[in-house]
Structure 1
Amino acid sequence: MNPEMTLPYGDEAPRFESRPVWCGRGSTVIGAARIGAQAWLGDAAVIRADGQPVTLGERFWLGHRSTVHIATFDQGTTCGDRVTVGRNSVLHACLIGSDVVVEDDVVILDGATIGDGAVIEAGATVFPRSDLPGGFAYAGSPAKAIRPVSPGEAAERAERVRERSAEGIAPDTEPPGETDPDVFVARTARLRGRVGLGAGASVLFCCSLEAEAGPIVIGADTNIQDNTVIRTRGEGVVIGRDTTVAHNVRIADCRIGARSLIGIGATVAPGTLIADDVMLAAGSTTDPGQILESGHLWGGRPARILAPLDAGRRATMLRIVEGYCRHGRDYRRAQDEMAG
């Protein structure tokens, strides 16, 4: 069984050492991904190697709505053998040893290294460039060692993670309808209800945008990255132009300004107002009705001001937007060629 969608990126196409054991609905593999024997990919699992390689060892298990990605200009992602990843987790430009268990709702960020036999407990955030030795259980944000892993514990917890994946999420993966030629919507994304996309906007693989009540309005050149879920049950969601919403973000009825960045695995609660020119750090949450003022890096649970939004961070945010505009054009062309 093969992924529902595979696409080359540049001259690189995904390569599996052998046919995967299972590929769920909406599963997507892009670019220079090299995946070992006996892989298991859950529903809406995304592996995206568009600019750097992703190398995954034997018996790699990627749970439902989880994402493996790279830092386009800097670093790929490498995992050893028998790595198990739960639901709604993100491995981003990191190095992971063998026999590691990454439970549900975990974010592992750029440059992090995790040793053999470690367990990353549910809800943890591994900060950039962290070095977590093997043989320990880690929890919290930032993830810290809480105790040694007992003999056989990692294998037992891996089995529990896999058992929870017996019931899929059954995403609706019917191709989206016709969109403006300046817009990219991945074939494995799901858009329902009143969803408006500005010119140059992109909605990437396995995203779910559900306007159950109020509308969802996405500004020009804004990118919504893999496995992000936006759902309205009230007034709706409005996101300004030139904004990045990273992988596996959860957004309810709110307003997000222009030129902002919502980090990997963040949660934006109903009634939140995020001003223009805001960076919300990966793994952060907002409180219902919270206001995030312009010109700052916010982070934490709940979010608080961490630092000014300096020139370096602003330049990074702009570079991401420009890169995703290019990605959108490239992916639309590749997707159209595959369909044609």
Structure 2
Amino acid sequence: MTPELILPHDGVLPVFSARPVWCGRASTVIGDATIGAQAWLGDHSVIRADGNRVTIGERFWLGHRSTVHIATLTYPTLVGDRVTVGRNAVVHACTVGSDVVIEDDVIVLDGAHVEDGVLIEAGATVFPRAHLAAGFAYAGSPAKPVRPISAPEIAERAERLREASGDLPQPPPADELEPEPGIFVARTARLRGRVALGAGAGVLFSCDLHAEVGPIVVGANTNIQDNSVVRTRGEGVVLGRDTTIGHNVRLADCRIGARSLIGIGCVVAPGTVVGDDVLLAAGATTDPGQLLDGGHLWGGRPARILGALDSNKRTMMARVVEGYVAHGRAYRAAQEALS
């Protein structure tokens, strides 16, 4: 069993208001995070406060393989009391009130504000800077109010979600991998089969790369962020250089070009080919065999062209890559210091 991993960032360690806090196997908490009493962090969950703060209230529940993160120097993540987050969800650089339920596979994006007493139903995407008013259930992409909801129903949905989060099956042992200099592989990540990592590549916390049949090839300076899953059951996965795979992304037997960004929570179907210089918006999906031409912003379910990839977006994507190469150096040093 892999124990939890608690690491500093810029010399700052997480603060737990009360211990013990339940930390599931291979869960990770990093940096300027403050977590209230009676917290429960599921297996392979990640809370990463590296470049801004995460402040979480009492009785917080974070489901298996879910991720809480910030936007560096832009948005912290602030969470109230009695918040329940389901499995494979992402709470990213936003503000969440108290008595909120965020169900499985939900994505809450930068600058969003979720008021008290809100239910976000499974699979919804809360778009950047959206405002979710109190007292409603929200669904869809973008998330929209679908009906009023009462406090007792919110409490019941939270209890149901927690009961459904049984233990995950224990994975088989990962292949032994001794990263080359300049490569970062988190201790809580699992790499199995033929996985090749280019110079400066990073595989973040609780990622699962399983080359069951074909290989997984990761280009130089490409980062695969927390809780992403890459699996091959056919020809394999190839990721070009200087590319970002966001939090909680799922990839299967696909090709992704250089200098691209696959947004938070995307699902890339087998046979997909993504060209160079593509931005696939958070929460998007592709159809099997779909071709995403380079030089465009794509989004939707299934993905379609939303516009040209302008210079501002290209600059943002390059900065993400630079930032994650730096994160990789810092986190490798922090892990080695624990040895």
TM-score normalised by the shorter chain: which range applies?
A: over 0.9
Alignment map for 1:92-131 (pairs within 5 Å):
92-131=92-131
Matched residue type, 2:186: A
Please give the secondary structure, in 2, of the residue aligned with 1:214: strand
Provide Cα deviations, 1:57-109, integer angstroms capped at 9, x if missing partner: 00000000000000012111010000000000000000000000000000000
2:279 and 2:135 mapped to 1: Cα distance? 34
Provide Cα deviations, 1:207-237, integer angstroms capped at 9, x if missing partner: 0000000000000000000000000000000
CA RMSD between the two structures: 1.3
Please give the secondary structure, in 2, of the residue aligned with 1:142: coil
Aligned residues: 338
Check 1:176–1:189 CA distance in 2 against 1; reply closer, same or farther (3 A cut): farther
1:171 and 1:20 mapped to 2: Cα distance? 25
Matched residue type, 2:51: G
1:124 and 1:306 mapped to 2: Cα distance? 20
**Corresponding position of 1:19:** 19
1:97 and 1:173 mapped to 2: Cα distance? 39
* TM-score where L is the length of structure 1: 0.97
Contact kept in structure 2, 1:175 and 1:187, CA below 8 Å: no
Structure 1 consecutive aligned stretches of length 4 or more whose deviation exceeds 3 Å = 169-176
Check 1:212–1:171 CA distance in 2 against 1; reply closer, same or farther (3 A cut): same
**Corresponding position of 1:50:** 50
1:226 and 1:143 mapped to 2: Cα distance? 23
Contact kept in structure 2, 1:202 and 1:221, CA below 8 Å: yes
Q: CA deviation at 1:34?
A: 0.2
Matched residue type, 2:67: T
Contact kept in structure 2, 1:284 and 1:303, CA below 8 Å: yes
**Corresponding position of 2:139:** 139
Q: Determine what percentage of the aligned residue pairs are the same residue.
A: 69
2:335 and 2:68 mapped to 1: Cα distance? 20
Contact kept in structure 2, 1:77 and 1:94, CA below 8 Å: yes
2:28 and 2:21 mapped to 1: Cα distance? 15
> 1:40 and 2:40 equivalent?
yes
**Corresponding position of 1:333:** 333
Q: CA deviation at 1:167?
A: 2.9
1:173 and 1:157 mapped to 2: Cα distance? 35
> 1:304 and 2:278 equivalent?
no
Contact kept in structure 2, 1:44 and 1:171, CA below 8 Å: no
2:226 and 2:220 mapped to 1: Cα distance? 18
Contact kept in structure 2, 1:269 and 1:289, CA below 8 Å: yes
Check 1:41–1:137 CA distance in 2 against 1; reply closer, same or farther (3 A cut): same
2:253 and 2:174 mapped to 1: Cα distance? 25
Contact kept in structure 2, 1:197 and 1:218, CA below 8 Å: yes
**Corresponding position of 2:91:** 91
* TM-score where L is the length of structure 2: 0.98
Q: CA deviation at 1:174?
A: 6.2
Check 1:330–1:255 CA distance in 2 against 1; reply closer, same or farther (3 A cut): same
Q: CA deviation at 1:44?
A: 0.2
2:197 and 2:255 mapped to 1: Cα distance? 15
1:62 and 1:104 mapped to 2: Cα distance? 10
Identify unmatched segments of 5+ residues in structure 1. none
1:214 and 1:173 mapped to 2: Cα distance? 19
Contact kept in structure 1, 2:297 and 2:305, CA below 8 Å: yes
Identify unmatched segments of 5+ residues in structure 2. none
